[in-house]
Structure 1
Amino acid sequence: MVGEETAVSIVDGELAAKAAPLIDKLVADQVASKLAAGDATLWGSGAEPEASIRLSWTTLHKTSRPLIGEIEALREQLRGEGIDRVVLAGMGGSSLAPEVITGTEGAPLTVLDTTDPGQVADALAGDLSRTVIVVSSKSGGTVETDSHRRIFTKAFEESGIDAASRIVVVTDPGSPLSELAESEGYRKVFLADPHVGGRYSALTAFGLVPAGLAGADVARLLDQAAAVAQTLASDDADNPALRLAAAWGAAHADGAEKVVLADAGSGIKGFPDWAEQLIAESTGKQGTGLLPVAVEGPEAPGFADAGSDATAVAIGSAARGAKIATSGPLGAQFLLWEFATAIAGRLLEINPFDQPDVEAAKAAARALLDDPAKLEGGETPSTVDGSVEIFASAGVSGEGKLLDVLKEFLDSAPEHGYLAVQAYLDRLDDASASLLRAELAKRTGLQTTFGWGPRFLHSTGQYHKGGHQNGIFLQLTGNAESDLEVPDRPYTLGKLQHAQALGDGQVLTEHGRPVLRLHLTDRAAGLAQLVRAVQEVGE
């Protein structure tokens, strides 16, 4: 795998011609070598303070090497004690990279990047006597991750297990979590490089520790990145990072502000979901950016039939409809896409290292949690149809049968707009909800994204508020069969999940975007009813 060629092919001849002068300019400006050297001036004076403390990811293939021995030693210790089940509590960059790494290698890892009580309860139902939980949070204060830590601590203690011996922490130096870990005597603390942002952290402790403990060969991952690092740092027209960034930049200048991502036989599992966060948070701001649309495959609606507003990118071999194709092993792809995304930020004239709009939804959710009456009793549905309660924002009447409301909502999308489906549900037990993406894309012709809440808040959530303001938002929430208390907190997981959905919807509405929330009073029946309605759209 280390020797597999890492390359970018611009399949579309017209796009290649438009990208060529951008590539020449990037080469002349020595952008690749300056980026590899940590030059924080590449994105202008406004971005320089942030960029100056966010560029250590370019050398992680070297600086992360000492982690390998530490991870292997801890894994052997745990296995010697009969502990071989790894649960990861993390959000965004703390969970997406480990999920791709372990999925690609077939290493078992239970990922908790949810506040759905049912999904967390399923993770708790595993054999705790064999379980270690990796609590990953760059800031050390991520509310979802802290909730998971509290819930698992209580579960360990109630099972007669020393909780501290089963908690491994990955965080930045000096964070509240690192201080807590020291005071509580947690099993091991891995301090990540603070000069790497979360979405660029695949090759830091955030990506390597949980994946390595689960059994993935993370040393090989670093070898793959190291093998391509010199190429990505070269001021050469064949540099794949320059080619990928220039193709995105040229397409965006032509009105293609969406990048449709499909795996085309790469052997990498779930790469589009990881790339989604990297691109959306890095570029979606100041009313511009690239909206990543992760689809089911090269034949999926939105890829093979991508219109002028979208650029289809195949991960793997060039597939039908692909305008760009990228190849290479996972470690190399991580570094390639990070370089390309940072360079695309220069072309789009934005700072690829900040996320100015992420905090808004968090603040709105906190305000709702502080006002239980508003959270629990202040909502009245516009109408109820079977197992679906309908809540519509201004501009969508929300009246009538589900099908009628859905049609009116979808008709509110502007030309070249997009539809975002946001499911605050259990991504295991309610997995069928993800089928809605392809069905809606096929019937509406809209580029359609699908995200599990609150996971997407740490990913495409930035683009939704800061990028091109032409999206419409379909939220799915649902009653849970049972809830979970969060120890020493005045809310349950269910209330937190509900507050996150309402808070994000509130912020989107304040941005003038149409939001339709469908609350499933019976999740299975409600999803079935929604699927039937979607299948009638466009008939």
Structure 2
Amino acid sequence: MGKMEAAGGLAVTTGVDVNAAVDRLKADDVPARVAAKDATLWGPEAEAEAAIRLGWVDTFVQSKELVEPLAKLRADFAEQGIDHIALAGMGGSSLAPEVISRTLDLGISILDTTDPGQIVAELGEASLRRTAVVVSSKSGSTVETDSQRRAFEAAFKGVGVEDSAKRFVFVTDPGSALEKLANEQGSHLFLADANVGGRYSALTAFGLVPTALAGADVAELIEQAEEFATTIQSEGDNPALVLGAVIAAKPTITIADDGTGVVGLGDWAEQLIAESLGKDGKGTLPVVLEGPAAAGAGGADRVYATVGGSSTGLPTGSALAMPDVVVNGPLGAQFLAWELATAYAGYLIGIDPFNQPNVTESKENTNRILADGLPEERPHAVDGAVEIYGSHADTVAGALGEVLTNADREDAYIAVLAYLDRIDDAAVAGLRAELAERTGAPVTWGWGPRFLHSTGQFHKGGRQTGVFVQLTGEVGEDLVIPGRDYTFAGLQAAQAAGDRQALESRERPLVRFHLTDRKHGINQLLHAVRELS
């Protein structure tokens, strides 16, 4: 396939010619400067932010202090019959725990949604009585996380759980409103490394607290990262350096699990890459694939990467297309390698990898809509169980055809943004692969509102060539948010509308399909896309 660089328990093998980029990184002494936490590395405009965002380079040292208290708290919960962990968090607070949970089969319930159906499903009396809730937010004020905390608090009281404050474990930065609340009500509290941004926080309390409480051996993850950290300044094989050059090599990187032991790393890497590199009108677009055989993996405009836990990449005898880069090694090493690589890619592209200048835009739109009410919108057409907005077509198939036509231009990509229940409505995610089979453009998928904390930055701040499909749906059972004058359905609708406004202000093509009946609407969408040539 190409050259392999292996060190610190992780191997990167690639056929992409990145020798010039690697030589530049070495000549500019970038690895040593990252290891030294040199905040000047990405230029004067990035220096202030970088100065308080480089703790991830060695945060695993501080994280060792978490191991013993987490083991004690897990044992205390077990004595009380608490054996299930629900995580209320968004973006960097949920994506790393999700990878760890899926890889180690921990069964954590990840609540990074405002869809009322998905939240109601977690509030049944039988499960509540054996559940502890980890509430994770750097700022302590994330609207989705705060709303979920309020819902759980009311639900615990509703089923008569005594001293429900002790069912909550708060993970936050020092000085946040969540720290204050934890101290006031006597909830468990773990403070994270304040010098680590959310998307780089996999090996801090944000990644380790919920997973340790669910049974993960987080000491092993820390050891894996510590071993890989010895390679940062290596003059010999330096896997992260090669991976960084690969990420910066082309406009898009597609990522798939290779089936050898690491599950779902692409979803975490998607946020890391998109939010770090998608700004200033440029950057690398990450696309998470369903598997190694998924549609849209390869192309002249993209690098195709597979990720796994073995040292050999794709399983022996695999008939799948050969990827451009194979990244294999244990999960702790993977986290640090991709963080380093993203910082290196930012240097090569000329981007500050630590700020997120466009993330707040949709949030501000959402807050305004919650205060003023939803904008009045009428569908252009209704086709069965689907209302069509932002299209000239009268059928779902016709509107999807318009999407493909709009994407038939240089550097375009398609983003499907689904404000639905990613558990009960999971089948609709098949739309990504179906569209990818019918276009030469990259096609990315995002569940709302979680993508607002990841690819949402790229869509607003990266290259302005996106073609957008937004999916919304009628709600069956809504849920009140205690202490707020809106419900979860109202919040979800406001987030979708706020995001539409942010994208439409950039004059990007956007078609919205509103499902008046979710099950039938999803079937319609999938049937319609399969009709297209």
The normalised TM-score by structure 2 is 0.95
Q: Matched residues in 2 for 1:5 and 1:158: separation?
A: 49
1:220 alignment counterpart: 220
Deviations 1:103-129 (A, max 9, x none): 111112011000000000001125211
> Using the alignment, how far apart are the partners of 2:99 and 2:342 within structure 1?
18
How many Å apart are 1:62 and its aligned residue?
A: 1.3
Report the equivalent of 2:357: 356
Aligned residue in 1 for 2:385: 387
Shift of 1:223: 0.8
Q: Which residue of 2 aligns with 1:178?
A: 179
Q: Distance between the aligned counterparts of 1:294 and 1:62, measured in 2?
A: 31
Tell me what 1:488 maps to.
483
3-state secondary structure, aligned to 2:231: helix
Instruction: Measure the CA separation in 1 of the matches of 2:406 and 2:368.
Output: 29
Q: 1:401 aligns with which of 385, 390, 395?
A: 395
TM-score by length of 1: 0.94
- Contact kept in structure 2, 1:23 and 1:237, CA below 8 Å: no
Cα distance between partner residues in 1 of 2:261 and 2:438: 30
Residue identity opposite 1:455 in structure 2: R
Which amino acid in the other structure matches residue 171 of structure 2? V
- Counterpart code for 2:480: E
Asked if the contact 2:90–2:137 (Cα under 8 Å) also holds between the matched residues in 1, the reply is yes
1:143 aligns with 2:143: yes
The answer for the alignment partner of 1:115 in structure 2 is: 114
What per-residue deviation string (whole Å, max 9, x for no partner) do you get for residues 138-192 of structure 1? 0111000000000000011111112201111000000111111111221x11010
Give, in whole Å, the separation in 2 of the partners of 1:217 and 1:5: 18
Answer whether contact 2:386 2:516 (CA < 8 A) is retained. yes
| Counterpart position of 2:28 | 29
Contact 2:87 2:111 in 1 (8 A): yes
**Partner deviation per Cα, 1:201-227 (whole Å, 9 max, x = no partner):** 000000000000011111100011111
Q: 1:96, 1:274 within 8 Å by CA — same for their partners in 2?
A: yes
| Secondary structure of residue in 2 paired with 1:9 | strand
Instruction: Name the CA distance, whole Å, in 2 between partners of 1:237 and 1:537.
Output: 51
Alignment of 1:531 onto 2:526:
yes
Letter aligned with residue 104 of structure 1: T
Name the CA distance, whole Å, in 2 between partners of 1:8 and 1:214. Answer: 31
1:330 and 1:409 map into 2 onto residues whose CA distance is: 37
Quick check: 2:252–2:284 contact (8 Å CA) kept in 1? Answer: yes
Aligned to 1:270: 264
Whether contact under 8 Å (2:13, 2:327) holds in the other structure is yes
Structure 1 counterpart of 2:301: 309
Letter of the 1:269 counterpart: V
Shift of 1:5: 3.0
Aligned residues of 1:4 and 1:329 also touching (Cα < 8 A) = no
Distance (whole Å) between structure 1 residues aligned to residue 403 and residue 27 of structure 2: 48
Note the C-alpha offset of 1:237. Answer: 5.3
Partner of 1:54: 53
The one of 281, 296, 317 aligned to 2:275: 281
Instruction: Give the deviation of 1:444 after TM superposition.
Output: 2.1
What's the counterpart of residue 207 of structure 2? 207
1:452: which partner in 2?
Answer: 447
In 2, the alpha carbon distance for the partners of 1:191 and 1:309 equals 42
Specify the alignment match of 2:4 in structure 1: none
Contiguous gaps of at least 5 residues in structure 1: none
1:7 aligns with 2:11: yes
**Does residue 193 of the first structure (1) align with residue 187 of the second (2)?**
no
Report the more deviating stretch, 104-113 or 313-322. Answer: 313-322
CA distance in 1, matches of 2:264, 2:42: 30
Q: Which amino acid aligns with 2:224?
A: Q
Distance in 2 separating the partners of 1:233 and 1:4: 12
Tell me the secondary structure at the aligned position of residue 339 of structure 2. Answer: helix
Between the aligned partners of 1:496 and 1:537, the Cα distance in structure 2 is 34
Alignment correspondent of 1:97: 96
Look up the match of 1:67.
66
* CA distance in structure 1 between the partners assigned to 2:208 and 2:272 by the alignment: 17
Structure 2 counterpart SS, 1:64: helix
Q: Secondary structure at the match of 2:129?
A: helix
Measured after TM superposition, the shift of residue 445 of structure 1 is 2.7
Deviations along 1:436-477, one digit per CA (max 9) or x if unpaired, are 111110022321111110011111000001111111110110
- Tell me how far apart the structure 2 counterparts of residues 67 and 103 of structure 1 sit (CA, whole Å): 21
Identity of aligned residues (%): 53
Q: 1:4: Cα distance to partner? A: 8.1
* Alignment gaps of 5+ in structure 2: 1-6, 315-319
CA apart distance, 1:32: 0.8
Counterpart of 1:194 in structure 2: which amino acid? A
CA distance in 2, matches of 1:404, 1:247: 38
Q: Name the structure 2 match of 1:346.
A: 347
Structure 2 SS opposite 1:344: helix
- 1:405 Cα deviation after fit: 1.9
Structure-1 residue corresponding to 2:421: 426
Q: What is the aligned partner in structure 2 of residue 326 from structure 1?
A: 327
Contact 2:73 2:213 survives alignment (8 Å): yes
For residue 22 of structure 1, report the CA deviation from its aligned partner: 1.6
Determine the C-alpha separation between the residues in 1 that align with 2:291 and 2:504.
32
Partner of 1:504: 499
> Which of 464, 489, 493 in structure 2 is aligned with 1:469?
464
Letter paired with 2:305: V
SS in 2 for 1:302: coil
- Residues 117 and 475 in structure 2, CA contact (< 8 A), matched pair in contact too: yes
Counterpart-to-counterpart distance in 1, 2:361 and 2:108: 31
Worse overlay, 239-248 or 427-436: 239-248
Distance in 1 between residues matched to 2:19 and 2:456, nearest whole Å:
32
Q: Which amino acid aligns with 2:220?
A: R
> Quick one: distance in 1 between partners of 2:380 and 2:410?
27
Q: Is the 8 A contact 2:25 2:31 kept in 1?
A: yes
| 2:255 corresponds to which of 240, 261, 265 | 261
User: Structure 2 counterpart of 1:350, which letter?
Assistant: I
- Kept in 2, the 8 Å contact 1:107–1:216? The answer is yes
Whole-angstrom distance in 2 between the partners of 1:227 and 1:114? 35
Check conservation: 1:423, 1:477, Cα contact below 8 A.
Answer: yes
The number of equivalent residue pairs is: 515
Shift of 1:391: 1.1
Mapped to 2, the partners of 1:468 and 1:531 lie a distance apart of: 28
Residues 116 and 424 of structure 1 are in contact (CA less than 8 Å); yes or no, is this contact kept in structure 2? yes
* 1:47–1:351 CA contact under 8 A, matched in 2: yes
Any idea what SS the aligned residue of 1:355 has?
coil
